[in-house]
Structure 1
């Protein structure tokens, strides 16, 4: 294994994260995650609840990043408007929505019993 290549791959990944933070939707998810973390500290969540929330936040943010990557690849491959390109982008966005809605439900199931 080439150690230099291995560490370069981390730099590429970090660069990808910074590039993705330019996306409005990803910034919204990051701010939402920050709000959840702050609320979690004030609520006094258990280790299991933290693990669930961290996993859910990572899934939403990761899915949003994959969605952004898919959108860029589709735009590169099909610069003109094409029905299949639109479907690919819509499906990827739909996947983010599924995870985001599930994360809201999970958050409510964790926080509401503690607050009320």
Structure 2
């Protein structure tokens, strides 16, 4: 249901999804960190599949990091639009958003170490 109480038609949903996917594609093309995070996630998921460990914690951690990176990019664009000149509050907003990505990434690293570490260690030490 939409906020006005009417249902969202499938065609409108697909149109909205297309706009969202355009945003993801733009961020992938323009943000090196997003590309690194995507490929780190692919690597982690490949390791999880190869080691036979649960995928769900890895998928959740990857989704969180990528979502926060998308929000960081959106916030940076809005701040640049609203404050083209340097401003201390613009710096705070951008730094805090980047900090959110850092915190999410460190959390994902912890999940990866907890889930993938023990089976990798067993594999490497025989």
Alignment TM-score > 0.5, same fold:
yes
Q: Which residue of 2 aligns with 1:7?
A: 14
Q: Which has the higher contact order (CA 8 A, sep 6+)?
A: 1
Q: Which residue of 2 aligns with 1:34?
A: 42
Q: Which moved more, 1:73-82 or 1:10-19?
A: 10-19
Runs (4+) of structure 1 exceeding 2 A deviation are: 1-7
Q: TM-score if structure 1 supplies the norm length? A: 0.92
Number of equivalent positions: 113
Question: SS state of the match for residue 80, structure 1?
Answer: coil
- How far apart are the structure 1 equivalents of 2:71 and 2:113? 25
Larger radius of gyration: 2
1:7 deviates by: 2.2
Q: TM-score if structure 2 supplies the norm length? A: 0.85
Q: Which runs of 5+ in 2 are unaligned?
A: 1-6, 122-126
Q: Which residue of 2 aligns with 1:44?
A: 52
Task: Decide which of 72, 75, 78 is 1:70's aligned counterpart.
Answer: 75
Is the 8 Å Cα contact of residues 72 and 101 (structure 2) preserved in structure 1? yes
Q: Over the residues paired in the alignment, what is the CA RMSD in angstroms?
A: 1.1
Task: Decide which of 23, 28, 38 is 1:21's aligned counterpart.
Answer: 28
Q: Which residue of 2 aligns with 1:114?
A: 119
- How far apart are the structure 1 equivalents of 2:38 and 2:61? 12
